[in-house]
Homo-oligomer: A and B are copies of this chain.
Amino acid sequence: MADDAGIEGLIELMARLPGLGPRSARRAVLMLLKKRGQLMAPLAQAMAQVALTAKDCHICGNIGTADLCPICADPARANGEVCVVEDVADLWALERAGVFRGRYHVLGGLLSALDAVGPEELGIPRLARRVTDEGLREVILALNATVDGQTTAHYIADALAPTGVQLSSLAQGVPVGGELDYLDDGTLGAALRARRRV
């Protein structure tokens, strides 16, 4: 217990971050308190700055500090391919891998009757407009291989069918470095069905 209202309030807010509980939030705040000049002040300033300037890109839904995200602003990435992802975290993961050179469309969730999330909330009509407006060649559905993910993928495929755009989805199979012995039956079956000639 820090016995100090300001410090206790900071610990409480830090404890809401994923990966930090009350105990580790306390440890993190203690470390910040010891490095007030080198770490705490710059971190507070960076956070306030990002909180003030962060916004969703009005084209793809990526989060950035400019009106247009760096990917939508980069003309080199207008290669006619758009990758549909559920979340900004998935976009960041694909960018980290550096394997995709087109643009993105962030849904911000998946279709869910239970949570009353419909196509409008996910910007699916907006995606259909992008297909015609930007003259897209291919839409890659990079959604989770879960029931909700696949339901959403099917819905998008149906919604985009009239545009005639090429639709594709990520391949399913054995992960790189994966051992067959540890794979679930569904993945093994998918990998066998999608087998390739060598």
| Nearest CB in chain B to that of A17: its residue | B28
A48 at the interface (CB under 8 A from B): yes
| Nearest CB in chain B to that of A47: its residue | B44
CB proximity of A144 to chain B, nearest CB, Å: 16
Residues of B contacting A159 in the complex (Cβ-Cβ under 8 angstroms): none
Kindly report how many copies of this chain are found in the complex they form together: 2
Residues of B contacting A46 in the complex (Cβ-Cβ under 8 angstroms): 6, 9-10, 13
Contact status A19-B27, CB under 8 Å: yes
**Contact pattern, A 13-30, Cβ under 8 Å of B = 1, otherwise 0:** 110111110001011101
Enumerate chain A interface residues (CB-CB to B < 8 A). 1-7, 9-10, 13-14, 16-20, 24, 26-28, 30-34, 36, 39-54, 63-66, 69-71, 88-89, 92, 95-96
Kindly list the 5 A-B residue pairs having the minimum CB-CB distance in the complex, ordered from nearest: A44-B47, A44-B48, A19-B24, A40-B51, A1-B95
